[in-house]
Structure 1
Amino acid sequence: MGLTKSTGLTGPTGPAGAGADPPARWGASGISVWLDGLSRQRLASGRLAALARQGRIAGVVSDPAFLARSPAGGPYYTGQLGDLAERGVPAERALKALAVHDIRWACDILRPVHEATAGVDGLVCVTLDPRLAHDAGATLAEARALWRAVDRRNAVLGIPATEAGLTALSACLAEGINVSATLVLSAARHRQAWDAYAEGLERARAAGRHLASLASVASFPVSRVDTAVDALLDREGTLEARAMRGAVAVAAARHVHEQYERMLGEPRWHALAARGARPQRLLWTATTVPEPGASGLLPTRYAAPLLTRGTVTAVTEETLDELSELDEPEAAGSAPAAGPGTYATARRLLGHLRWFGIDHGELASRLETEALKELNDAWHQLLDRVTLSLDKGPATGEGTDGTA
């Protein structure tokens, strides 16, 4: 899977085996599809391995909101939690032990993809403790500890793109740690994430590191934008407002992608690329349509139009199945081929937000704050569930996680 520079947000092009599942064909076109959600159940059941082996996914991304629904929620963690309880391990350390176990396992499953793509894909992206989002030093220390514990080159540590988070992101890269800038909700924040990435690469090079071995993505949570904007448009209640419902998120993503392509042409990036650096790819997350039937949007409304060379689209398994039902033209979305025309359309649509009193920059800032609160709440929920499991004491027998 190459990093072919695209000319806009377009659908998949180029065959990769007639009759193959569309996600499997897209990989040959430089389009990466990752699975949104890492759980012990998917690991132990062999489901993740099957999806990777079939070429349907090329990576995994997960965060506390998803993980909060996994630990202590079934038999898959019983054995390891029992061992941890027997040893009197406190909840925070136990949670990290569970996470390290699953990250290592997923990295090993995806190692063949990582090797076959020369490190472009086969990545496992997991979010660090979101409570540290505004503390650069603590984030760096946490990243160092987790990186050493996981000890896998295809792991990627997610850091919220706050001011402190981006400082930590640069420092991580300087030390050879793969990182993801998460919660990138505007073109302005994406510019900052890109600059932090470039600074990290420059520091890594000064330290004598091989830039080709470093991986990074910038995560744009697509549906979050429409969820917020649609609520504001509904207050307007006009025909013009209703016409924009469900359309702003993809336009915002296209606007960010347009900037991404411009940055690939900048002298600073050319100097880094000449030293072997890979671009910090855009990662489209939160591509599931909330209540697709009620909203009137197709389940693939966000995932399909954003499939493009050189970017990553993270989808749930349900959305992946929906994408598999589409043929290639449909998967490209109903909009005309991207490029300058589509980018101009996206800019024009975003400009219309002002008619309804919506400032895109202020909205992005609010969404970042809300998302961080949700991640913090999910993290506390995780700790609570692990604490309850540990309080039950050692388990008897053997758990389905393979631990005793």
Structure 2
Amino acid sequence: MTNTPTAQLSSAGVSIWLDDLSRTRLTTGSLAKLIEEKNVVGVTTNPSIFEAAITKSDAYKTELAHFAAQGIRSEEAVFEITTADVADGCDVFASVAESTHGVDGRVSIEVDPRKAWDTEGTIAEAKRLYSKVNKKNVYIKIPATVEGLEAITATLAEGISVNVTLIFSLDRYRAVVNAFLSGLEKAKANGHDLADIHSVASFFVSRVDTEIDKRLDALGTEQAKSLKGKAGLANARLAYQIFQEAFSSERWELLADAGALPQRPLWASTGVKDPAYPDTLYVTGLVAKNVVNTMPEKTLDATFDHGVVTGDTITTSYAQSNDLLNELESLGISYNDVVTLLETEGLNKFVASWKELLNHVQDALDEAAREV
């Protein structure tokens, strides 16, 4: 499959990951098929994905009945189920991880989102997840809250690979890169082999357009309408500029000389929310070397079917992207207000999904216990 759009995307330097995981994907072989046919080389998960996987499938019924018989409650049941699925996913990608020396072939699992504002709690949860999954190609996802930055550094310092998630702002991304570099510096001091520590920084894309487009619609002017659907790409492209600058610095070179690999930008939330936009907008518009694009299956299928890959669509657009964000500010659309709101909404959504999952699993456990 060398001439497909997904193959072309891979050749251009973009690692394609699937933003989904379920027991059904694992047992039917559909995940392995995506590796073979559509160039998928990794998987990301989040609380919403697990909530959908467990609540909409009977694949976990036998396991839940077993937990009920043991008197296990929902939090521990969810921990056991999700870590088992992620460990099995890691096995599916083991050969990819080996062939890429750990750069790809990764499966991510997120810390309990309720701990996003708890530094020490996040560190403890990251270690617990890493120990339970017990696979070298697992990524522990940590939200890029202010409290999460220190947890990111501490987790990396333990030699644990980290997927930093829910990044919306350029300033926060700079802080994430600093947390990564600090983590590697501490890991080196702790005697860890830096070549074994990997990281991605998940920069969210489509949600930026969703919020800014809403504000542009409220303005209603022709100028405002002309800017719709452009902020998400501009924001991500400027993040890549930061990536290039940070990983050509003297500070980075010292770590690279010790075997470290850069923290790649990962484009998240790449499914198009507005049907008026091309369904591959956040894929073909964000092509450059050393990036990851994690896609919902609908976006992956669209890219495979009719994505047009024209090479680098990022590095020649920095000035234009910066001008666009400045123009939005001139219209009274506050960048800082937007990204702060999006972080809060994103975290609240994950917390809500996690609580729904726990409640659903507890109901299933109670029902199973009554049937015994």
Deviation at 1:55, TM superposition (A): 5.3
Task: Give the TM-score taking structure 1 as reference length.
Answer: 0.89
Q: How much does 1:51 deviate? A: 1.1
Contact 2:286-2:313 at 8 Å conserved across structures: no
Runs of 4+ in 1 over 6 A off after TM superposition: none
* Kept after mapping to 2: 8 A contact 1:143/1:172: yes
Matched with 2:149 is 166
- Compute the displacement of 1:24 (Å): 3.1
Quick check: 1:24–1:54 contact (8 Å CA) kept in 2? no
How far is 1:171 from its partner? Answer: 0.5
CA deviation vs aligned residue, 1:300-338 (integer Å, no higher than 9, x gap): 1112211321000011111111111236xx2248xx954
Report the Cα offset of residue 365 of structure 1: 1.2
The Cα of 1:189 is off from its aligned counterpart by: 0.6
Matched with 1:360 is 335
Q: Which residue of 1 aligns with 2:309?
A: 331
Worse-matched range after superposition: 356-365 or 101-110: 356-365
Q: Does 1:252 align with 2:232?
A: no
**What pairs up with 1:77-92 in 2 under 5 angstroms?**
77-92=60-75
Letter of the structure 2 residue corresponding to residue 124 of structure 1: V
Number of residues paired by the alignment?
Answer: 372
Pair 1:71 & 2:46 matched: no
The one-letter code sitting in structure 2 at the alignment partner of 1:246 is G
Match of 1:349? 324
d(CA) in 2 for partners of 1:364 and 1:194?
18
Deviates more, 1:28-37 or 1:376-385: 28-37
Pairwise CA distance, 1:382: 0.7
The alignment status of 1:277 with 2:255, answered yes or no, reads no
**What is the rounded CA distance, in whole Å, between the counterparts of 1:140 and 1:229 in structure 2?**
34
Structure 1 CA distance, aligned partners of 2:359 and 2:181?
38
Report the equivalent of 1:6: none
Q: Are 1:313 and 2:288 counterparts?
A: no
Amino acid at match of 1:225: V
- For 2:38 and 2:277, the matched residues in 1 are separated by 27
Q: Pick 1 or 2: higher relative contact order, CA cutoff 8 A, min separation 6.
A: 1
Pairs within 5 Å for 1:1-400: 18=2, 20-54=3-37, 56-292=39-275, 296-326=276-306, 330-332=308-310, 337-339=313-315, 341-393=316-368
Query: Structure 1 or 2: larger helix share?
Result: 2
Amino acid at match of 2:290: G
Could you list the runs of 5+ residues in structure 2 that have no partner in the other structure?
Answer: none
Contact map agreement 2:119 2:151 (CA 8 A) in 1: yes
Q: CA RMSD in A?
A: 1.7
Inter-partner Cα distance in structure 1 for 2:143 and 2:51: 18
Structure 1 CA distance, aligned partners of 2:182 and 2:108? 21
DSSP-derived class of the 1:209 partner:
coil
Range with bigger deviation, 173-182 or 47-56: 47-56
Task: Say if 2:287 and 2:314, in contact at 8 Å, map to a contact too.
Answer: no
CA displacement at 1:395 relative to structure 2: 10
Q: Which amino acid aligns with 2:78?
A: L
Give the SS at the match of 2:229.
Answer: coil
- In 1, are the aligned partners of 2:38 and 2:304 still within 8 Å (CA)? no
CA contact (8 A) 2:285 2:314 kept: no
1:59 counterpart SS class: strand
TM-score (norm 2): 0.96
Query: Which amino acid is 1:313 matched to?
Result: N
Q: Percent identity?
A: 37
